[in-house]
Structure 1
Amino acid sequence: MTINKHIQKAPFFASECKTIKHQLGEACVPRNPQRIIVTDESILDAVVGLGFKPIAAAESNALGNRGRQFGNKIDGIISIGKESLLNLERIVKLQPDLILGFEINENDYEILSKIAPTVSIEFNEIAWKEALQRIGDILNKSTVSKQLLNEYQQRVEKLRLAILQNNNKQKVSISRFYSGWNLTQFQNQFSFPVRILEEVGLSIPEAQQKLSNSSQSYISVGIESLNLLDADVMFVALDPGSAKNFQKYSSHQFWQMLNVIKNNRVYTVDSGYWIVGNILSANAILDDLSQYLLSR
């Protein structure tokens, strides 16, 4: 790639960095990074949660937008393109001192590691807590990551108890609607949001569990299979621009026949944090669960 000749990687003395082994090799990571770039949305969630503000981040392939979990914490962050098509020239110009990402493509890594110390971390959407701890260790914020997880666990236990006291241990369905895609889907027990449901004592319907396997965190659903979405409560995660597709489904007679619709227990939520993420998204989901399940 022609950008190679423009790369000038900043030198680090051994005392200024620590060696981190990762899935694609090892990197000498600065002990106090100032110009972090992240290559995907989930790692952005973790890094911001730990108190850092990256100078730039890639935009998600899977999510339609950045959810409210970030608040104003990422205002001014520069885009480096989509996760699947990083703008490498822009990354060079930004002169990062550390690049972090989940499952970085090997070809990208070969270039990125010449720009700045680059760490590629294994991704498992239900192992987000372990990922937060790993990132905390890399960024010398292990105490902060433990504190964040302790505070999160306290919230989980409080919400679990409140749900139990309200005799509110119901089956919950999580569906998602995309822009430009005719199908919908439900998130299964191998997904980020359903794992959070399980932590607070909730679960998805048995029909959904039986169709699920660990190779994929969701199951696609057409109009003819809408009965699979039925539950005591349904959260509908909407992508920007998905209104037309959602309208097609929600106006269909099969949708209107669902008990969850008849009982008026459908709540629309933001797919920006309900599908995949880390500590900020997890806490935002707890906010929604508290609002919609305990307010009745």
Structure 2
Amino acid sequence: MATAPCNPAPRPAAGSSTLSERDFARIAGIISEHTGIKLPATKHLMLEGRLRRRAGLAGFATIDDYCAYLFEEGGLKEEFQHVVDVSTTNKTDFFREASHFDFLAERIVPALLAQGAANRTIKLWSAASSTGAEAYTIAMVMAELARSNTGLRYAILGTDISTAVLESARRAIYPRPMFDPVPPALQRRYVMFDNGVGESGRARIVPELRRKCGFQQLNLMDKSYPVDRDVDVIFIRNVLIYFEPAVQNAVVTRLWGHLRPGGHLILGHSESMIGTRMGLPQAASGVFRKDPN
């Protein structure tokens, strides 16, 4: 996505560089309507800081000027994706809630192979992929399994509403400390480190894994998703907590429809009750298996 200013010539300051309650409410309403994500009052300062940076990049001296452009001068259409990008939370880590990846390696994939999946491509989907740490963690797990299962084929899709985080996911370059949760053996095989140390260091996922992961934009609020309906495993973790219960149910129902019979839907541990509330068959904490019949 282009990051060129929408107004290349900076304007003189004409207002405050703090986010007013009125403008916060306007943006929160837009984000809720478009993405289903709730922005409570506790997010006001976070959003203010991000909007201040975006306003500067767009050529505005203050947040007031930027919001006036959005809401009074018709600029929202042009800036809409940027507003979505700065308003959404993109917390992600490698091997976050590691028990789910253990379950993938020890239970799900062996069962798929026993059922003949070695003759096809196993499909995995990170449905709120953020900057890609979850998708690349899945790729590491699958690559390790492929080392002892000749012919194992897999493909990973990562989707997110934010184009900014999708760009980061495709680059697959991260601060070195982000890889601390990755076991040393996997770091040696799947991560390329530069010469920096600490916060100044960077590292990149190896090309072999980057080729296994594709990323595309997707809004979970859409009524249908342009994704295959024979996915083996869908990860949708730690994003449903930002939705109202009715939206949670609708999103899970749509995702469930993209699983092949016997496929697994994996929710965050704190979201497990959503699946149980909906009566989905549970295989482990946060893991739900679609009836194979």
What TM-score do the two structures reach when normalised by structure 2?
0.28
- Bigger relative CO (Cα 8 Å, ≥ 6 apart): 1
What TM-score do the two structures reach when normalised by structure 1?
0.28
